[in-house]
Structure 1
């Protein structure tokens, strides 16, 4: 583990309600992880961030925020959006292989070490925060 990997850090990226924000979030995450020497986590982290931000952008009408935190060997990726309603529970990934949609949280559930959500207030706005963790073992 490098010196940089022992130090906690956090980044946030606010994006408008625009599908292009998903690509911008994914590329920003890749840059952050590369700069912190965590390239081994990039592929799975990009997949997870893409699903979280895509849900925030596609299923709400307001802006979203990608939050990436590193602490004690765990990468937390989260997405805040303006809809306070809980996300749909993930289905079984194998049952969704032919589905047009609905795989997002199933992928998060299958690939992350932990995930969850909670209601959140941000700058006077209600919403929710959906997160997942990746351990850097």
Structure 2
């Protein structure tokens, strides 16, 4: 017997639910810049979670990188954007995270434990007032 679309009456329903979930998840975190040209197998966004927490003194970025070895993680920051590049046996991650406020990238500290990357930055000094004489 030949299989056709009538064999799976719920395929259309599941595809629509998946489309709506992907649409909802792509708009869930405005601070994360998902590369729309990447597919599910190459990068963040579909199964990697990135959280950003900020206090008066610091900005903390927490990212899930399952299956990645510590030596295969590269981090770069320009003071406003954190770039996380990582590689495992099955995937390559390349994420640019817009930080909610300027940070002093020279004060960064990072830890990686059980697949969870945590990067902490001190907030950048606010510019001082300039007095006119």
Q: By the TM > 0.5 criterion, same fold?
A: no
Q: TM-score, normalised by structure 1?
A: 0.34
Q: Which has the higher strand share?
A: 2
Q: Which has the higher helix share?
A: 1
Q: TM-score, normalised by structure 2?
A: 0.35
Larger of the two Rg values belongs to structure:
2
